[in-house]
A and B are shown apart, each in its own frame.
Chain A
């Protein structure tokens, strides 16, 4: 029996029972469609997290006081508790070749009041130096960032994140206005460009003040909460990370194997978060996979019914010369045809869902070629697996019995 004839027979058999065929296909469409949609949502989410972490600054190393305990991740560091980083550490890091910019930072939360409007908010105040925008990949949309002079002279100036600016001054222009942080007056000299939230930290909801002002006047502390280092090139990251540990350990006179600080690279953060999103993706895909299996059982059910219904036809085909293989191929082809049509429609359907999700819910989705290939492969495999048993049953029918079947 030739492929073309096989195809023609299959086509005739499936169109003979349009409603039943379409309902069976629908099972596969839902299965494949949800697998595609779930994987695309998962992959889109991890892509979004990746880009927003890269948006925090490219080739970034973050040095934190205390020890980031393995397994507990970056969220529960000993931040705030340990006070081991000081301004001179930033100078040491600056000496390492491959380091582009260094941004020592001290951050605290304070109450901020705008005397002009009477609004107040509680936000993160970051004491920073002039390299902060370069390291953290932020830019000023209105006004200007503070200068070296303002840094040296403990200038009482502030650059507002767009969220803070909106909270305090609503729609009026905040430049030149006065605000009161922890009861001390600051003059607004600039507003940052909107960046969007990145996980647990929202760079739009911050206020930047000179590091000196922060340490001496606001916080009364000489220690740093973070030193952010940007590296010239991505491939220099591991070497710079190692050298930073050695240099700081030497400066602090501690064993580099158990330092009193931690160096976290972007890759580490990404690794932790992609692990989370990957687990999430697998979780979603396996739920979708269950519906795929249910669809496959639907195929098997339909094929078994078809074999019973067409017993006489099978008997006739065998009587006029069909071999076992001809019969089993015919029924297998029907199952594979059902799943393939289901697969193609399902991929389109899943694509549609992921597009709708990105449009309506605003979650970035990404339908990747491998996931399409996987879904199609799985649907073809389901056709073979769930079509095999009915096909074998048809092929092994005794022609005499089959011709007598009523």
Chain B
């Protein structure tokens, strides 16, 4: 569960201070599928960094599972990321020289999990992300974009996180593979009750979520249930 109370974030470059986020307050319950939508420069990336414990707010309180993380050190934040957060990036960020299975198991290396258990968890996560078994020993650069993003989804799932943060996950994909990725999110949300936060600038992508937070110029302008929810095409599920 996430609770934000009056979060602000300002950056200083030289004399000029820019306020990237102004008094954002909201609550995200466990099991919600939420989209944070806004144009570029709206402050949605800043919000994602704070939600993902990559950064701390300048002022305000951020509770993740009832723990205030606003005042933690870098290494304490790393420990929280390791235990509670799964990241999915626009550009996948896979290690090019490690196999798919090693890429997926990487977060568990830093969590200090035994090798056998890591591989077990990685295989489960790959199955959950609907990644075909015959590519498990491939290198990421031998895979298509859609497949790479599935590896990244499996990596985000592997530590069984409280929240999955997806930053423009379809940004580098064509419509069809993007649809596949969104279908995977919807399935994970429905079948496993995962909490998913989708950051995007595309209304079409945001409409796959249950709830949409609209952000503009650092402020939340709208936070409402999505009444026109799209269901990703189930037919494209199998490749």
Report the tally of A-B residue pairs with Cβ distances under 8 A.
62
In angstroms, Cα B110 to Cα A403, docked, is 18
Which residues in B have their C-beta under 8 angstroms from that of A403?
89, 93
**DSSP majority for the B interface?**
helix
Q: B110 is contacted by which of A13, A326, A399 (Cβ under 8 Å)?
A: A326
What per-residue 1/0 map shows which CB atoms of A291-334 lie under 8 Å from chain B?
00000000000000000000011011111111111100000000
Identify the closest chain B residue to A395 (Cβ): B74
Cβ of B229 under 8 Å from chain A: no
Query: Among the listed B55, B98, B110, B159, which residue makes an inter-chain contact with A322, where contact means beta carbons less than 8 Å apart?
Result: B110
Q: Which of B36-44, B78-86, B168-176, B231-239 contacts A (4 or more CB under 8 A)?
A: B78-86
| Cβ contacts under 8 Å, A321 to chain B | 78-79, 81-83, 107, 110-111, 159
Number of interface residues of A (CB under 8 A): 24
Taking a contact as CB atoms under 8 Å apart, the answer to whether B74 and A324 are in contact is yes
In residues 72-130 of chain B, which contact A (Cβ within 8 Å)?
Answer: 74-75, 78-79, 81-83, 87, 89, 93, 95, 97-98, 106-107, 109-112, 115
If the complex has contacts A1-B109, A2-B112, A400-B55, are A320 and B74 also in contact, measured as CB distance less than 8 A?
no
- Chain A residues with Cβ under 8 A from B107's Cβ? 320-321
Partner of A312, one of B54, B93, B106, B111: B93
Q: Does A5 contact B (CB under 8 A)?
A: yes
State whether the Cβ of A4 lies closer than 8 Å to any Cβ in chain B: yes
Is B49 part of the contact surface with A, judged by Cβ < 8 Å?
yes
Within 8 A of A (CB), among B9-24: none
Q: Is A12 an interface position by the 8 A CB rule? A: yes
Chain B hits for A2, CB < 8 A: 109, 112
Say yes or no: A323-B89 contact (C-beta < 8 A), given A318-B78, A400-B49: no
Task: Say yes or no for A116: interface residue by CB 8 A criterion.
Answer: no
CB A4 to nearest CB in B, in angstroms, measures: 7
Closest partner residue, chain B, to A9 (CB atom): B109
Q: CA–CA, A351 to B93, complex, Å?
A: 46
Q: Point out residues on B near A: beta carbons under 8 Å.
A: 49, 52, 54-55, 74-75, 78-79, 81-83, 87, 89, 93, 95, 97-98, 106-107, 109-112, 115, 155, 159
The 3 closest A-B pairs by CB, nearest first: A321-B82, A321-B110, A320-B107
